[in-house]
Structure 1
Amino acid sequence: MKRLLAISAAAGLALLTACTAGTENSAPSIAPSATSHDPVTIEFWHGFSADNELKAFDDTLAGFKQKFPWITVKATKAVQDDQILQSVRGGNPPDVALSFTTDSVAQFCKAGIFQDLNPYLKASNIDPAALFPKVIAEYTQYQGKRCVMPMLADAYGLYYNKKLMKGNEPPKTLSELADLTKKLTVKDAQGNIKVAGFVPTSQMYENAPIHTGVMVGAKWTNPDGTSAIGSDPQWKTLMTWQKDLVDWFGYDKLEKFRKSFGDEWSADNPFNKGKVAMAIDGEWRNAMLASDAPDVDYGTAPMPVADDQAQRYGAGFITGTIIGIPRGAKHPEAAWELVKYLTTDTGALVGLANAIRNVPSTLPALQSPDLKKDANFQTFLDIFANPNSTTQPAHINAVFNQQTLQEAQIQWESGRAKDLDALLADVDKKINDKLKLTAGG
């Protein structure tokens, strides 16, 4: 499950980068393997916390224990990136750490926060190019260094409540989404929103520009790493569309409605409660709906695309969980066995994918007959395989770039900014100025 924790860790990453400049981690020249069967206990930190997720991990770690009975895994749940960073800085990291965000991969690799895994992969005769879909390679390495491995993948699509849709098919274009949103929205006599067809604001849960940009095929950066946001007309297309729909609702009315929602990760999610007919979300929502709102009759579809890009329908944003061995891990040999098991063992990946409904990240796991493929989950497997689906390649300022654009979007949709061209030009300036400070990443 993708949870956006990168922004909270951004300051810690920057500080750690400054503290470790010029102290690149030395990876072993020959990756060790756990040939010694002396009993060892390793620490594994991860961010999962929901009951179904924890049970899935317990079952998976039990399978690891059967295969490696001399390795005991002490797992710690609900760990965020800043805790991992602090542990590395303090010289007391876990042996294995998992992160929900790919936004920090460039920093993780550049600062040596996680060890380079290329020697381990070579010693284990693992060819990442043959094992993982190409899109995954873009967010698990930086400047030739693969310091993390993909464990599971996330794909983003459109969820729709069949009852609230009133027989309408899911929209395929932005115009169709806007028209259907207006048709399905229910307001009271004072204009307050009771049910929204769709909430267009970028502040709505998974509507961040990193996810919605794919609907218009928008680019984040130029080949040299500088910002393409101001020069790519697709960002203007997306933000104009969002603003028009926000204005139809009334920004204040929409914000009042949005702020009445429960926590995204709880049973009080408004989609669960029938307050929203359509919502952008990741594949994990299937498992959460089964657990928290089993009576909701829903369907899934790809996100709509720009009206002049019909050929791109079926694409989505791809990201995922990443896992690696922090610098200073006490038991790197045993740690690698766990990382390898969780990222390359087909049975383990399929078991986790079936339990928490994430997309398995290896080609053999995707093709496994044991992978559960009901219609609502198949949507996300198809999105994952779509050649037009995109990710954000590792960038030294990935978190800053996203935050800068989203802040601009909020200014625009709220009406505080009046000139969109000037606003996006300012986004470019801020991003490029930051890039200069980081020496081009």
Structure 2
Amino acid sequence: MINKVHRLRLIISLAAFSLLMGCSSNHNQSKVPAEGADKLATEDGVTLTFWRNSGNDAENAAYEKLVAQFNMNNPTITIEMNPIPYSDYDTKLRTSIASGNPPDIMTIDAPSMASYAEAGALKPLTGFFKSDGNLEDIPTATLSAYTYKNDIFMAPLTESSIALFYNKKMFETKGIPLPSKNPEEPLTWEQVLDAAKKLTDSSKGIYGIDPAQGFQNAGATAYFKYPIIWQFGGEVMNADGTTSKGELDSPATKKALQFYADLYNKDKVSALEYPPDPFPNGKLAMTVDGSWSLSHYASDFPDFKLGEDYDIAPLPKGTRQAVANGSWSLAISSKSKHAEAAWKFVNFVTGYEGQKAYVAMTKDIPVRYSVAKEIAELNDYPKNIFVVQNQKFGRSRPITPIFPQMSDAVNKVFEEVTIGKRDIDTSVADAIKKIDEAYAGLQAQIK
């Protein structure tokens, strides 16, 4: 459930967004001219402000290195970077936009892109990308996460991904065939359920599967649980991001929701609560987790070894494979007076050279095909599972300007049908009503 701090943050963010909407203009009014990249000669001697969410030590160091390198190689353009703590970032950014004093360049998380673009706060980057952004080097599915109303609004840098982590020794003890390590040969959810039943021993506090990192905030729900809906052939919203009617209430989506709830309530192979670190501590046989956990297990659980104690397989599928894509990316303010110079920096950071330098320090998954091909560990097990899933089966979370409200409503459905054992039809209908009301309210603001 959403805690009080998150709710307060959301209220503040939406209040700033309302102010922003009041002073916005249509995003199509600020299209990049085809010859935009040739105007850099007129941008000599400019200083550009760059706001970003402050990350971990490796991410911070990587950005510092890239900014220093760009400033050194471009003496007529100065980038002034301002890292802001994650907890304050969105509120401060929306407030700066609403007050008419935004940074020239900013980082924005993929699901938030549409709300900023709808408000006219972002410069469309389509013309820039077509000019020298090397579009063919980025998976089409990845670009879709940064595209709104046929315009690209952000330049992606890295991806993260999730996969099925399983306790190899537990599988072997029970005589269960080990999952394939081929990124394109996942287990079905029915196979996962069958294995989970054999692996669960509630008397010892051992459960078969944590399918989506339990019950966290709405953002985590979107990243971990939407793929389950997609894998069963369902959808969360329509392609326009205007309503969930006909999608969230489809038979395929309801089947996914029922399967998820049954893991806890009928099959009892999942638990609502686990002790700390249940997977490396032997209390959880399978878990859907992220690529970032590899370093966590290696550093904090050195005796729990990849290849000996646990292994990784692609995410399970129902009727199809799917994984959520989209991460923090770079955007340019529609109010920047030096968009061409800003693009030069953005293109440097997210292009081949910048991206390669960044992921060498952070160990993240690069967006560009060319960079991923050059990093040996990304082409070998287990990292290749995360890379191939993103490149071939990645899907953007719904591109909609009401993403927070939509995500909260869908998160509540998962909680209600699983924890509260509420009727799925009733819960879904209530969610669709809330989503439609949120979209209608936004349209009324715009008018």
**TM-score (norm. length: structure 2):** 0.79
**Could you give the per-residue CA deviations for residues 271-314 of structure 1, whole angstroms, max 9, x where no partner exists?**
455543322233333344444444432322211122xx2xx35x
What SS does the corresponding residue of 2:149 show, helix, strand or coil? coil
Q: Any residues of structure 2 matched to 1:131-150 within 5 Å, and which?
A: 131-150=137-156
SS in 2 for 1:322: strand
Amino acid at match of 1:113: A
Q: 1:277 is paired with a residue of what secondary structure? A: strand
**In the aligned structure 1, how far is the partner of 2:71 from the partner of 2:391?**
32
Give the match for residue 386 of structure 2: 380
Aligned match of 2:236 = 220
- The aligned counterpart of 2:208 is 197
SS in 1 for 2:271: helix
Alpha-carbon displacement from aligned partner over 1:102-131 (angstroms, at most 9, x marks no partner): 212221111122222234445x44353x23
CA distance in 2, matches of 1:349, 1:370: 15
**Structure 1 vs Structure 2: percent identity of aligned residues?**
23
Residue 172 of structure 1: aligned partner: 187
Q: Does 1:401 align with 2:417?
A: no
Structure 1 length-normalised TM: 0.80
Q: Are residue 281 (structure 1) and residue 296 (structure 2) matched?
A: no
Q: Does structure 1 retain, via aligned residues, the 8 Å contact 2:238–2:247?
A: no
Q: Deviations over 1:241-290 (max 9, x none)?
A: 12222125869x933x34x54xxxxxxx5545554332223333334444
Aligned to 1:297, what secondary structure does the other structure show? coil
What's the counterpart of residue 103 of structure 2?
Answer: 94
Contact 1:157 1:280 in 2 (8 A): yes
Q: Which amino acid aligns with 1:215?
A: Q
Instruction: Return the offset for 1:330.
Output: 6.5
Q: How do residues 286-305 of structure 1 correspond to structure 2 at under 5 angstroms?
A: 286-298=294-306, 299-305=311-317
Q: 2:70 aligns with which of 64, 67, 71?
A: 64
Taking the TM superposition and a 5 Å limit, the aligned residue runs for 1:227-376 are 227=244, 228-247=246-265, 254-255=271-272, 257-258=273-274, 260-261=275-276, 270-271=278-279, 273-298=281-306, 299-306=311-318, 309=319, 312-313=320-321, 315-329=322-336, 332-344=339-351, 346-368=352-374, 372-376=378-382
Shift of 1:436: 3.2
Q: Distance in 2 between the 1:282 and 1:339 partners?
A: 27
On the 8 A contact 1:284/1:357 being kept in 2, the answer is no
Paired position in structure 2 for 1:264: none
Which stretch shows the higher mean deviation, 162-171 or 357-366?
Answer: 162-171
Rate the CA distance shift 1:35–1:358 in 2: closer, same or farther, 3 A. Answer: same
The answer as to whether partners of 1:98 and 1:321 remain within 8 angstroms in 2 is: yes
CA contact (8 A) 1:156 1:318 kept: no
Distance 2:336 2:282 in 1: 47
Map Cα deviations across residues 413-435 of structure 1 (whole Å, 9 max, x no partner).
01351x22232233233323333
Change in CA separation of 1:105 and 1:213 when aligned onto 2, cut-off 3 Å: same
Greater helix share, 1 or 2? 2
Q: CA deviation at 1:188?
A: 4.5
The RMSD of aligned alpha carbons is 3.5
Residue 354 of structure 1 contacts residue 372 of structure 1 at CA under 8 Å; is this kept in 2? no
Post-superposition offset of 1:17: 4.8
Distance 1:294 1:60 in 2: 33
CA distance in 1, matches of 2:54, 2:280: 21
Aligned length: 412
Alpha-carbon distance in 2 for matches of 1:367, 1:183: 39
What is the CA–CA distance in structure 1 between the aligned matches of 2:68 and 2:24, rounded to whole Å? 39
- Separation in structure 1 between the aligned mates of residue 360 and residue 300 of structure 2, nearest angstrom: 17
**d(CA) in 1 for partners of 2:231, 2:301:** 28
1:411 Cα deviation after fit? 0.9
C-alpha distance in structure 1 between counterparts of 2:397 and 2:344, whole Å: 29
- Could you say if the C-alpha distance between residues 279 and 230 of structure 1 is closer, same or farther in structure 2, counting changes exceeding 3 Å? same
What's the offset of the Cα at 1:412? 0.8
In the alignment, which residue of structure 1 is the partner of 2:52? 46
CA contact (8 A) 1:412 1:420 kept: yes
Q: Is the 8 A contact 1:214 1:317 kept in 2?
A: no
1:113 aligned onto 2:121: yes
In structure 1, the residue matched to 2:197 is: 182
CA contact (8 A) 1:88 1:328 kept: no
Work out which of the residue numbers 22, 39, 46 in structure 2 matches 1:19.
22
**1:165 and 1:184 in contact (8 A); partners too:** yes
Of stretches 215-224 and 104-113 in structure 1, the one that deviates more from structure 2 is 215-224
The equivalent position to 2:434 in structure 1, one of 424, 427, 430, is 430
**Per-residue deviation, 1:16:** 4.1
Q: Secondary structure at the match of 1:182?
A: helix
Indicate the residue corresponding to 2:3 in structure 1: none
Going from structure 1 to structure 2, the CA distance change for 1:90 and 1:161 (only over 3 Å counts) comes to farther
Deviations 1:198-225 (A, max 9, x none): 2246515845432332331321233564
Query: Post-superposition shift, 1:73?
Result: 4.2
* Greater shift in the superposed pair: 272-281 or 213-222: 272-281
Question: For 1:164 and 1:44, how far apart are their aligned partners in 2?
Answer: 49
Instruction: Map 1:403-422 to 2 at 5 A.
Output: 403-417=408-422, 419-422=423-426
Q: Is the 8 A contact 1:197 1:278 kept in 2?
A: yes
Structure 1 ranges of 4+ moved more than 6 A: none
Kindly indicate whether residue 223 of structure 2 is the aligned counterpart of residue 211 of structure 1.
no
Amino acid in the other structure paired with 2:83: T
